[in-house]
Structure 1
Amino acid sequence: MNNERYDRGLAKLKEIDGLAGEKVIDSLKDIAPDFARLLIEFPFGDIYSRPGLDLKVRELAVVAALTALGNAAPQLKVHIHGARNVGCSQAEIVEIIMQMAVYAGFPAALNGLFAAKEVFAVEAAHG
């Protein structure tokens, strides 16, 4: 299963999401191991590893996109956590989610804010 894309992707996933990302991959091993491999290779090995944007900007873009989708709360929480790991402040995350109200509607922004609130609470509880 390991190859250059996979190894690069796994390293990038760990850099961004730490244990949270690894848990997502582990949860797929018994049902869709090929999908877990693709998830590591393509988004993290190919896209996140490209030059041109730093991880902070990439994670803010993902938080915006997942908020706008309005139906991806588990993934949004993982990426809010990832955004915090790569240096995004709570204020930056809240602002990007609030901006999505203009493009995706208030319900999507509200759902995003509630997801952020949960992530921030867990973060505060763990110091």
Structure 2
Amino acid sequence: MPSERAERGMDILRQINPQSAQALFSELESIAPDLSRFVAEFAYGDIYARPGLTLREREMITVAALTAQGNAAPQLKSHIVGALNSGCTEQEIIEIMLQMAVYAGFPAAINGIMAAKEVFTARKANETDPA
């Protein structure tokens, strides 16, 4: 039985990126189910659920942090989707990447822009796909 924290976290995850949430938990469940629980309970059920910042603001911060790390492309793409689903615009995502050039370096910003381009392209393709 999932804890209240896990349920709260899963609700938030479903709001920002339902496909990614399901994929993450499906992949982790077979090898490290505790890790999926930690992500749901702590990252989303405790931290994302806190008052003080909107989901949009939290996603913008997360996109900046993952861009600065420079080694988390799958998570960055997932959170770019989450940022867009939370109300960010493509231009705001690009501005985040440009800001990261100053603080994380040009390679991190370029990698971030390329991840954003992949997400933007995929979203546009899905919008035009009649299926």
Q: TM-score range by the shorter chain?
A: over 0.9
Deviations 1:75-116 (A, max 9, x none): 000000000111100000000111000000000000000000
Match of 1:87 in 2: 87
Q: Secondary structure at the match of 1:126?
A: helix
Q: Secondary structure at the match of 1:111?
A: helix
What is the TM-score when the length of structure 1 is the normalising length?
Answer: 0.98
Deviations 1:30-50 (A, max 9, x none): 110000010100010000000
Query: Where in structure 2 are there 5+ consecutive unaligned residues?
Result: none
Match of 1:14 in 2: 14
* In structure 1, C-alpha distance between the alignment counterparts of 2:45 and 2:65, rounded to whole Å: 20
In the alignment of these two chains, the number of paired residues is 127
* In structure 1, C-alpha distance between the alignment counterparts of 2:94 and 2:21, rounded to whole Å: 22
Match of 1:115 in 2: 115
* In structure 1, C-alpha distance between the alignment counterparts of 2:118 and 2:73, rounded to whole Å: 11
* In structure 2, C-alpha distance between the alignment counterparts of 1:22 and 1:44, rounded to whole Å: 14
Q: What aligned pairs does 1:49-64 form with structure 2 within 5 A after superposition?
A: 49-64=49-64
Match of 2:3 in 1: 3
What is the TM-score when the length of structure 2 is the normalising length?
Answer: 0.95
* In structure 1, C-alpha distance between the alignment counterparts of 2:122 and 2:69, rounded to whole Å: 23
User: Cα distance, 1:25 vs. partner?
Assistant: 1.4
